[in-house]
């Protein structure tokens, strides 16, 4: 007997079509029975209870820290997270970003954008990051009436050469300083066109006083987007995200500028950047160190250090250098122009001053 | 590097590191930083136990010297190593907020002699004896590891230290960096940046090994061999300066080597350093070491005769298309008593001036000439080449470039990568054989539930493989940024899943990812299964309302993507629409606002399956928007679907089937529930009818009969 299968069902489902036995979705019913209401409440309560239990059972978060060197200085990233693998992958991701920015700003790399600009006096097509940092530098130079100046590299070179041959000397001669100062003029930087160029030959820039802040900001912003809530980024500058995992403010130790092996005080911050500029960081010899006063050509010694606390590390970084150079006198105006930032200054006699005054 | 660069480099690193560049202490109390700032003097830390690991059998130690400080180890009057502490040199901390202190030694030639961990606070290793032992073993395995030729020596993989690979790796890096630093300060050696001839390196090489290594090349010709050579060149019967003697008698023996390399010349010339013979010549002058024995030696007498310009007429050095011959002025004679064991009767160094185009790192040859007069009376010079290739052991290689962090991420994650690839193969097979699988309701339910559990527990909570919009945005905007490629590759699992999702999105639709690979999606669906088990009441919007609610996820996608082009704060705030970080990556270990939000979504999902997925998820919205492009419809439909049958429509957990019976593919999660109904001859009405017809026809009432699929794929349009 042959069975012909009808492959085209046209008929409506016959009466014998079974009612779905195990219908997953309850048909909407008019009104809730008490039983159902209880179920709903119990289920809604069970979810948080289960998750709280799960939280205790799941791996507990800790700080995952990376340490290394960025732009010639100590660097670290500390991420609070329960998953070490994840934290490490994100750290690797951040290091790729740091590496990329170092290829713009590192004076140690001969083919970085800044090295090429210094060598050739021009940079045909600067990256967006490079323009952003240079632009911020020029704004700070304007705001601080030249106390902050990215073109102090000539002074750095002069001092580096001098102290290499005279490790115990008193500092370069006035004539040489005056000569170097001819190349310290931020107005020689032309950022208006696609090409960045120096209008005066022999000008060289350093972005050390700001690029670390920029890298810190980039990485911190990326980490926030990656979902890290408790983070400390130290890439030359320090910036925190969220509160300390214990739910309190972060306590940041500040070094005693007179004795950098000791801490002088602790500041408490929530989500903020902290930048410290002080001559003790890289001393050359005698009174001379790496923070130059572009107006005199010598090292800025009116303050032992300047700590600036504010939302973003780029600006905090630039402000701390500018304040360190311009001294207590210029501090108030600089902070007034940049609301949201505060400063702690250490005077040469070791006393401190806070701006805006508490 | 120019001098300024060097100075900057040193100033930047030594001063910055030693004095502390950043003025900030480590987070937390001052006490936390005790390791970093006040280590006891190096000499006090060199206990006998430490020295036994770092330099066993040291005779005498010098004073602490230099900045960074190090201590010389003497053997007699010779310095054989410098001992240093990583804490003093680079203050390199490990994978915890505490720095570590390792004392290690390095020989003046750049080999690590040993290492000992003085102090560390690595949470993985501390108070775990086994791991402590592994770490010590790992570090001591660096004995003999060369800081210059790091890449040439077998690298021990850092994951040898279980659970503390990062610490171990940074410890090794700290040791090598510190060693380079100390050597640079103590010896004034600049590290090489390109392959460089190792002129000064010396180590004893036994006579036979000189030939085995290729340090020396040697040519031996017997009388018979010379006669054969002459015959080959049609010079039979020529007159030679020396007669050939017997066919077995030695006629000539020639040795050639690069004499400017101390490790070669000092092992051949016993009495003095070749450098002393070259002294006075500008740097870059190369010396070819030539030695000879036999009746016809390589030197001859022509160099003593002014008539022949004091020229050596029996050999030339040839490299590429250039050749060098030598006169008496270029010659430094070596007496037979100066040669190791007197093995060469005549020997000398021949100088090639600097800048003459000779590259000692490239192969060259010495043409040894057999001079004579042919029977026709013509003079000839028959060259016999001796090839010379400098062994690599005499070339200093620049330190290998550091492995990018993302490469380590891939090698570290190779187990996870293998598991994920296997998982994706299984998933692909599920889709290929879905027709067969869907015919077995119980098997299918088991497979699906297990897969979802695996996605949630392994992929999401264990391996951290939750794809999120942030990844999509990063990939999509890659061409706009000059991000480093490592930035995209540092999360191996995400890269693989993103690739698989892209392909499956184009081929089948967004449901492959959302229905199977999204850990948060899996969590919701598993909870919904629990809800179904307890028969919780379900609420679903009407078709019209649902259509409007669907828009929510597209709006969320637009907001999240738009925010990334605004400020970073806004972007990360918008990102929080996704509870993935809270529920999956952080396993709910976040602040309460985030946790409450996730709980809310999950609780809602108990009553409306995958409510978040359907109405709010920006990633789902993005994928759904792109779903329009998919090529194949794998879900099978019958003409009866929708009208009059509503079975699938009701069984679709996410209500992706319209009342017309059409599947809205952008909303479908490829859960395949409707396919299980489709093949079920006890539930799908058309099938039930056929089954009954068949049963009647066969007269075997009630016997189940397998029914083949009736309608080819996509008999009904399903393109949204
Ligand atoms: S809609 Fe969103 S949450 Fe749901 S499965 Fe897709 S990506 Fe995951
Ligand atoms: S039941 Fe069918 S239509 Fe509904 S989501 Fe699952 S596979 Fe898609």
Q: Which of residues 26-65 of A touch B (CB under 8 A)?
A: 26, 28-29, 32, 36, 39-40, 43-44, 47-48, 51, 54-55, 58-65
Nearest CA to ligand 1 atom 7: B620
Given a cut of 80, whether residue B64 has pLDDT beyond it is no
Substitution site in B669, B676, B677, B678 for ligand 2 pocket (most atoms within 8 Å of beta carbon): B669
- The pLDDT tens digits for A10-25 are 333 433 444 444 444 4
Given a cut of 80, whether residue B554 has pLDDT beyond it is yes
What pLDDT score was predicted for residue B32? 32
What pLDDT score was predicted for residue B529? 93
Q: Which of these ranges, A69-73, B308-312, B437-441, B636-640, has the smallest mean pLDDT?
A: A69-73
State the distance from the centre of ligand 2 to the C-alpha of A123, rounded, in angstroms: 57
Identify which of B470, B607, B694 has the shortest CB distance to residue A226: B470
Interface test with A, best of B589, B592, B656, B692 (most A CBs within 10 A): B589
Q: Where are the alpha helices (DSSP H) in B391-478?
A: 405-412, 414-432, 434-438, 441-454, 469-476
Burial class (CB in 10 A: 0-12, 13-18, 19+), B264: buried
Q: Which of these ranges, A238-242, B125-129, B155-159, B712-716, has the smallest mean pLDDT?
A: B155-159
What pLDDT score was predicted for residue A153? 83
User: How far does B408 lie from chain A, in Å, by closest CA?
Assistant: 9
Q: Is-contact A8 B639, C-beta < 8 A?
A: yes
- The pLDDT tens digits for A88-105 are 888 888 888 888 898 888
- Residue A5 banded pLDDT, cuts 50, 70, 90: very low
- The pLDDT tens digits for B454-468 are 999 999 998 888 999
Indicate the average pLDDT of chain B: 78
User: How far does B624 lie from chain A, in Å, by closest CA?
Assistant: 23
User: How far does B51 lie from chain A, in Å, by closest CA?
Assistant: 28
Query: B609 to each of A25, A49, B511, B640, B665, how far by Cα in Å?
Result: 10, 20, 15, 26, 17
What pLDDT score was predicted for residue B159? 24
* Domain ranges, ordered by start, for chain B: 33-187, 197-396, 650-720
Decide if B598 and A51 are in contact by the 8 Å CB cutoff.
yes
Decide if B688 and A3 are in contact by the 8 Å CB cutoff.
no
Q: What gap in Å lies between CA B110 and CA B146, rounded to an integer? A: 6
Given a cut of 80, whether residue A65 has pLDDT beyond it is no
Substitution site in B668, B676, B683 for ligand 2 pocket (most atoms within 8 Å of beta carbon): B668
User: What residues contact residue B278 under an 8 Å CB cut-off, 6+ apart?
Assistant: B260, B285, B287, B332, B349, B351
Q: Pick the residue with more confidence: B100 or B444? A: B444
Q: Is-contact A185 A207, C-beta < 8 A?
A: no
Given a cut of 50, whether residue B714 has pLDDT beyond it is no
State the distance from the centre of ligand 2 to the C-alpha of B658, rounded, in angstroms: 11
What pLDDT score was predicted for residue B511? 92
Of B614, B374, B580, B389, nearest to B469 by C-alpha is B580
Task: Give the three-class secondary structure for B62.
Answer: strand
Q: Is-contact A88 B409, C-beta < 8 A?
A: yes
Share of chain A above pLDDT 70, in %: 80
All residues of chain A having their beta carbon less than 8 Å from the beta carbon of residue B123 are 62
Q: What gap in Å lies between CA A141 and CA A160, rounded to an integer? A: 23
- The pLDDT tens digits for B114-146 are 788 776 655 444 445 555 565 666 666 556 666
**Average confidence (pLDDT) over A194-205:** 84
What pLDDT score was predicted for residue B292? 92
**Average confidence (pLDDT) over B476-498:** 82
Query: B163 to each of A65, B129, B509, how far by Cα in Å?
Result: 15, 13, 40
What pLDDT score was predicted for residue B34? 31
Given a cut of 90, whether residue B422 has pLDDT beyond it is yes
Decide if B17 and A40 are in contact by the 8 Å CB cutoff.
no
Share of chain B above pLDDT 90, in %: 32
**Average confidence (pLDDT) over B331-335:** 82
Indicate the average pLDDT of chain A: 79
DSSP code of A200? S
Q: Pick the residue with more confidence: B4 or B311? A: B311
Given a cut of 90, whether residue B523 has pLDDT beyond it is yes
What pLDDT score was predicted for residue A263? 62
Q: State which of B305-309, B509-513, B540-544 shows the largest mean pLDDT.
A: B509-513
Identify which of A13, A23, A277 has the shortest CB distance to residue B645: A13
Given a cut of 50, whether residue B166 has pLDDT beyond it is no
Q: Which residue of B has its CA nearest to A38?
A: B536
User: What residues contact residue A132 under an 8 Å CB cut-off, 6+ apart?
Assistant: A214
Identify which of A43, A66, A255 has the shortest CB distance to residue B606: A43
User: What residues contact residue B346 under an 8 Å CB cut-off, 6+ apart?
Assistant: B291, B292, B293, B297, B298, B299, B336
Given a cut of 90, whether residue B341 has pLDDT beyond it is no
**Average confidence (pLDDT) over B175-193:** 71
User: What residues contact residue A313 under an 8 Å CB cut-off, 6+ apart?
Assistant: A212, A213, A214, A216, A217, A220, A237, A238, A239, A273, A275
What pLDDT score was predicted for residue B173? 66
- The pLDDT tens digits for A296-348 are 777 777 788 888 999 999 999 999 989 988 888 888 889 999 999 999 988 88
Q: What gap in Å lies between CA B683 and CA B681, rounded to an integer? A: 6
- Residue A64 banded pLDDT, cuts 50, 70, 90: confident
Q: Which of these ranges, A296-305, B297-306, B484-493, B642-651, has the smallest mean pLDDT?
A: A296-305
**Average confidence (pLDDT) over A181-195:** 81
What pLDDT score was predicted for residue A295? 78
Q: What gap in Å lies between CA A197 and CA A209, rounded to an integer? A: 20
Nearest CA to ligand 2 atom 8: B668
Nearest CA to ligand 1 atom 6: B514
What pLDDT score was predicted for residue A162? 74
Q: What gap in Å lies between CA B679 and CA B134, rounded to an integer? A: 57
- CA B497, B498, B504, B505 torsion-angle sign: positive
Of B390, B391, B372, nearest to B381 by C-alpha is B372
What pLDDT score was predicted for residue B89? 63
- Residue B691 banded pLDDT, cuts 50, 70, 90: confident
Decide if A108 and B7 are in contact by the 8 Å CB cutoff.
no
Decide if B30 and A164 are in contact by the 8 Å CB cutoff.
no
- Residue A76 β-bridge partners: A67, A234
Binding-site residues, ligand 2, Cβ < 6 A: B 635, 652, 654, 656-657, 663, 668-674
Q: Which of residues 132-191 of A touch B (CB under 8 A)?
A: 157, 160-161, 164
**Max Cα-Cα span within chain A:** 118
State the distance from the centre of ligand 2 to the C-alpha of A249, rounded, in angstroms: 49
Q: Pick the residue with more confidence: A86 or B317? A: B317
Q: Pick the residue with more confidence: B67 or B541? A: B541
What pLDDT score was predicted for residue B137? 62
Given a cut of 90, whether residue A45 has pLDDT beyond it is no
Identify which of B470, B537, B585 has the shortest CB distance to residue A225: B470
Ligand 1 atom at minimum distance from B553 CA: 1
Q: Pick the residue with more confidence: A214 or B141? A: A214
What pLDDT score was predicted for residue B417? 95
- CA A145, A147, A148, A154 torsion-angle sign: positive
- Residue B161 banded pLDDT, cuts 50, 70, 90: very low
Give the angle subtended at the CA of B245 by the CAs of B243 and B249, to the nearest 5°.
130
Q: Which residue of A has its CA nearest to B695?
A: A3
- Residue A61 banded pLDDT, cuts 50, 70, 90: confident
A194 is written with which tokens? 């696609």
Q: What gap in Å lies between CA B205 and CA A312, rounded to an integer? A: 61
Q: Where are the alpha helices (DSSP H) in chain A?
A: 34-57, 84-105, 113-120, 128-143, 153-165, 174-181, 208-225, 313-337
B708 is written with which tokens? 């083949």
Give the angle subtended at the CA of B358 by the CAs of B355 and B363, to the nearest 5°.
160
What pLDDT score was predicted for residue A288? 61
B467 is written with which tokens? 């794809």
What pLDDT score was predicted for residue A213? 92
Spell out the SS3 assignment of A147-197.
CCCHHHHHHHHHHHHHHHHCCCCCCCCHHHHHHHHCCCCHHHEECCCCCEE
φ, ψ of residue B197 in degrees (nearest 5): -65, 130
Q: Which of these ranges, A72-81, A222-231, B416-425, B675-684, has the smallest mean pLDDT?
A: A72-81
User: How far does B476 lie from chain A, in Å, by closest CA?
Assistant: 16
- The pLDDT tens digits for A229-276 are 899 888 878 899 988 888 888 877 777 676 654 567 778 888 899 888
What pLDDT score was predicted for residue B145? 61
Q: Pick the residue with more confidence: A327 or B713? A: A327
Ligand 2 atom at minimum distance from B670 CA: 7
Q: What is the DSSP string of A264-281?
A: EEEEEESS-EEEEEEGGG
**Average confidence (pLDDT) over A148-177:** 75
Decide if A24 and B651 are in contact by the 8 Å CB cutoff.
yes
Given a cut of 50, whether residue B160 has pLDDT beyond it is no
Query: B34 to each of A76, A267, B37, B39, B98, how far by Cα in Å?
Result: 17, 19, 6, 8, 9
Q: Pick the residue with more confidence: B27 or B516? A: B516
Distant-in-sequence contacts of B304-307, Cβ < 8 A, 24+ apart: B304/B328
What pLDDT score was predicted for residue B154? 28
Interface test with B, best of A1, A10, A16, A17 (most B CBs within 10 A): A17
State the distance from the centre of ligand 2 to the C-alpha of B652, rounded, in angstroms: 5
pTM exceeds 0.90, yes or no: no
- The pLDDT tens digits for B7-30 are 333 333 333 333 332 333 332 333
């Amino acid at each position: 007997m042959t069975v012909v299968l009808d492959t085209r069902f046209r008929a409506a489902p016959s009466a014998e079509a079974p009612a779905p036995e195990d219908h997953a979705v309850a048909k909407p019913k008019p009104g809730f029975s008490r039983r159902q209401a209880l179920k709903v409440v119990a289920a809604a309560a069970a979810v948080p209870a289960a998750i709280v239990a799960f939280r205790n059972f799941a791996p507990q978060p800790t700080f995952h820290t990376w340490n290394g060197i960025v732009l010639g200085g100590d660097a670290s990233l500390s991420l609070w997270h329960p998953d070490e693998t994840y934290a490490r992958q994100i750290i690797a991701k951040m290091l790729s970003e740091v590496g990329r920015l170092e290829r713009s700003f590192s004076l140690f790399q001969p083919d970085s954008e800044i090295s090429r600009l210094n060598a050739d006096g021009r940079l045909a097509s600067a990256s967006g990051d490079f323009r952003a940092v240079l632009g911020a530098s020029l704004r700070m130079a304007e705001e601080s009436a030249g106390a902050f100046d990215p073109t102090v590299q000539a002074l750095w070179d002069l001092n580096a050469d001098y102290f290499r041959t005279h490790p115990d000397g008193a500092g370069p001669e006035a004539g040489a300083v005056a000569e170097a100062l001819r190349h310290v003029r931020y107005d020689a930087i032309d950022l208006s066109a696609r090409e960045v160029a120096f209008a005066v030959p022999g000008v060289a820039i350093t972005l050390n006083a700001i690029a670390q802040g920029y890298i810190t900001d980039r990485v911190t912003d990326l980490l926030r987007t990656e979902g890290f809530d408790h983070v400390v980024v130290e890439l030359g500058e320090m910036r925190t995200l969220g509160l300390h995992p214990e739910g309190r403010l972060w306590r940041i130790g500040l070094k005693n500028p007179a004795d950098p092996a000791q801490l002088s005080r602790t500041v408490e911050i929530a989500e903020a950047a902290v930048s410290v500029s002080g001559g003790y960081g890289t001393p050359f010899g005698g009174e001379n160190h790496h923070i130059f006063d572009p107006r005199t050509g010598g090292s800025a010694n009116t303050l032992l250090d300047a700590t600036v606390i504010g939302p973003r590390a780029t600006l905090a970084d630039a402000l701390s250098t500018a304040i360190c150079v311009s001294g207590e006198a210029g501090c108030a105006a600089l902070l007034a122009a940049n609301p949201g930032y505060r400063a702690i200054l250490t005077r040469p006699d070791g006393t401190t001053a806070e701006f805006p005054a508490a | 590097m120019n001098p300024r660069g060097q100075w900057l480099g040193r100033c930047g690193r030594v001063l910055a590191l030693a004095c502390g560049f950043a003025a900030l202490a480590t987070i937390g109390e001052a006490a936390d930083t005790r390791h970093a700032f006040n280590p006891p003097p190096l000499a006090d830390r060199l206990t006998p136990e430490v020295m036994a690991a770092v330099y066993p059998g040291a005779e005498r130690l010098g004073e602490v010297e230099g900045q960074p400080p190090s201590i010389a180890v003497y053997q007699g009057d010779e310095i054989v190593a410098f001992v240093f502490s990583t804490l003093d040199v680079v203050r390199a901390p490990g994978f915890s907020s505490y720095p570590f202190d390792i004392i290690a030694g390095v020989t003046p030639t750049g080999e690590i002699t040993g290492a000992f961990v003085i102090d560390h606070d690595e949470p993985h290793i501390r108070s775990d004896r086994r791991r402590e032992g592994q770490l010590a073993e790992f570090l001591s395995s660096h004995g003999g590891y060369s800081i210059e030729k790091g890449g040439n020596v077998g690298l021990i993989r850092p994951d040898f230290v279980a659970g503390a690979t990062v610490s171990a790796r940074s410890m090794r890096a700290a040791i090598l960096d510190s060693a380079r630093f100390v050597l640079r300060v103590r010896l004034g050696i600049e590290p090489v940046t390109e392959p460089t001839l190792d002129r000064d390196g010396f180590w004893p090489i036994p006579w036979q090994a000189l030939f085995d290594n290729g340090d020396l090349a040697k040519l031996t010709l017997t009388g018979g061999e010379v006669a054969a050579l002459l015959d080959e060149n049609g010079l039979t019967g020529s007159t030679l300066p020396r007669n050939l003697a017997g066919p077995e008698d030695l006629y000539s023996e020639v040795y050639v080597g690069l004499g400017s390399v101390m490790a070669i010349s000092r092992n051949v010339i016993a009495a003095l350093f070749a450098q002393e013979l070259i002294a006075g010549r500008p740097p870059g002058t190369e010396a070819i070491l030539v030695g000879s024995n036999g009746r016809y030696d390589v030197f001859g007498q022509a160099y003593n005769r002014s008539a022949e310009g004091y020229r050596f007429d029996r050999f030339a050095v040839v490299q590429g298309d250039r050749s060098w011959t030598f006169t008496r002025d270029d010659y430094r004679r070596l007496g037979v008593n100066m040669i190791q064991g007197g093995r060469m009767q005549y020997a000398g160094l021949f100088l090639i001036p600097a800048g003459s185009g000779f590259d000692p790192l490239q192969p060259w040859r010495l043409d040894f000439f057999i001079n004579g007069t042919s029977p026709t009376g013509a003079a000839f010079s028959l060259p016999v080449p001796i090839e010379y290739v400098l062994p690599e052991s005499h070339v200093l290689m620049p330190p290998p470039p550091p492995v990018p962090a993302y490469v380590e991420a891939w090698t570290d994650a190779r187990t996870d990568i293998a598991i994920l690839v296997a998982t994706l193969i299984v998933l692909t097979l599920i889709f290929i054989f879905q027709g067969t699988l869907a015919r077995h309701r119980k098997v299918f339910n088991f497979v699906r539930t297990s897969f979802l559990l695996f996605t949630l527990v392994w992929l999401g909570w264990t391996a951290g493989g939750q794809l999120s919009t942030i990844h999509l945005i990063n990939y999509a905007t890659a061409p706009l940024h000059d991000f480093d490629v490592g930035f995209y590759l540092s999360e191996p699992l995400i890269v693989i899943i993103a690739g698989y999702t892209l392909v499956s999105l184009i081929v089948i639709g967004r449901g492959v990812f959302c229905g199977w690979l999204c850990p948060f999606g899996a969590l919701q669906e598993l909870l919904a299964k629990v809800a179904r088990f307890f028969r919780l009441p379900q609420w679903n919007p009407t078709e019209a309302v649902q259509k409007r609610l669907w828009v929510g996820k597209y709006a969320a996608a637009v907001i999240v993507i738009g925010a990334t082009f605004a400020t970073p704060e806004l972007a990360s705030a918008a990102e929080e629409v996704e509870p993935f970080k809270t529920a999956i990556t952080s396993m709910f270990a976040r602040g309460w606002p985030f946790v409450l939000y996730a709980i809310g979504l999950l609780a809602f999902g108990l009553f409306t399956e995958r409510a978040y997925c359907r109405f709010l998820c920006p990633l789902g919205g993005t994928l759904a928007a792109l779903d329009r492009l998919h090529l194949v419809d794998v879900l099978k439909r019958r003409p009866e679907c929708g009208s009059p049958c509503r079975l699938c429509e009701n069984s679709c957990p996410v209500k992706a089937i319209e009342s017309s019976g059409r599947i809205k593919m952008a909303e479908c999660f490829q859960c395949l529930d409707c396919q299980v109904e489709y093949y079920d001859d006890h539930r799908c009405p058309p099938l039930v009818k056929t089954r009954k017809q068949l049963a009647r026809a066969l007269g075997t009432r009630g016997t189940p009969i397998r029914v083949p699929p009736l309608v080819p794929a996509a008999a009904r349009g399903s393109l949204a």
